[in-house]
Amino acid sequence: MSREAVLHDDGRYRCPWPGRDPLYVAYHDTEWGVPEYDSRALFEKLILDGFQAGLSWITILRKRENFRQAFDQFDPQAIARYDAARVETLMLDAGIIRNRAKIAGTVKSAQMWLDMEERGESFSELIWSFVGGQPVQSNLRSMADAPTQSDASMAMSKELKRRGFTFCGPTITYAFMQATGLVNDHLVDCFRHAECAAMAK
C-alpha cells in the first residue's frame, strides 16, 4: 500500500489507510481528525479504540452500530450500572467484540467518567488539556512519518490509568487523539488536512 496520499476517482487526494472501502473512506472523509469536544462522544471513541487493540479499525467500524446498541449508545451513566448478568449478556452478543476484560473495563471506565463528572470535572477538558486545548497540526507528508505514540499520548495514558480508566495505553491514546482531532494526522496532501485544521476552536 502507498504511504503517500492517494488520488481517488472523485479527483481528491486522501490518506492511504482507508483504501477504497466505502465505509472506511466515508469515516476518513467525515469523522477522522475532526476535533471532538463532547465528553460522551470522547468516551465512546476511547472505549472503541480500546476494543480495537489487536484488531483493525475497520473491524470496529463495521460493528460500531452493534456496539452502540449493546452499550446504551455509550451513555456512561447507564454503563456504570452494568452488573455481572449484563456482562454475561454482552458476552453472548455476536455483534460486538466479545472480550470479557474489555467489557468489564468499559464498565469500570464509565464509573470513572461518572466520578469525574460528579466532582464537577469535565472529561473533555481533561482530554484536551494534553494538547493545551488546541489540535496539534502534524503536517505529515507520508504515513511513514506518523508516530504510533507521542509525549502527549503517554501523559494522557498515565493520567487516565491513574484515575482508573482501562485499555488506554499510549498507542491506544494516540490512535484516539488522531480519531478525535486532538492531532491532525491527515497527510498535508490529503484534502481533509486543511478542512480539519480549519475546524480548530
- Report residue 187 as a C-alpha cell: 497527510
DSSP 95-113: TS---HHHHHHHHHHHHHH
Check whether 15 is labelled as a binding-site residue. yes
Q: What is the rounded distance in angstroms from the CA atom of residue 191 to the CA atom of residue 5? A: 9
Per-residue exposure over 24-56, b if at least 16 CB sit within 10 Å of its own CB, e if not: bbebbbeebbebbeebbebbbbbbbbbbbeeee
Residue 168 φ then ψ, to 5°: -140, 50
Radius of gyration of the chain (CA): 17
Is there a binding annotation on residue 193? no
Instruction: Confirm whether residue 190 is marked as ligand binding.
Output: yes
**28 annotated to bind ligand:** yes
Characterise 54 by phi-psi region: left (phi > 0), alpha (psi -120 to 50), beta (else). Answer: left
The C-alpha cell at 132 is 493545551
Residues of the binding site for Zn(2+): 15, 28, 186, 190
Binding site, by residue number, is: 15, 28, 186, 190
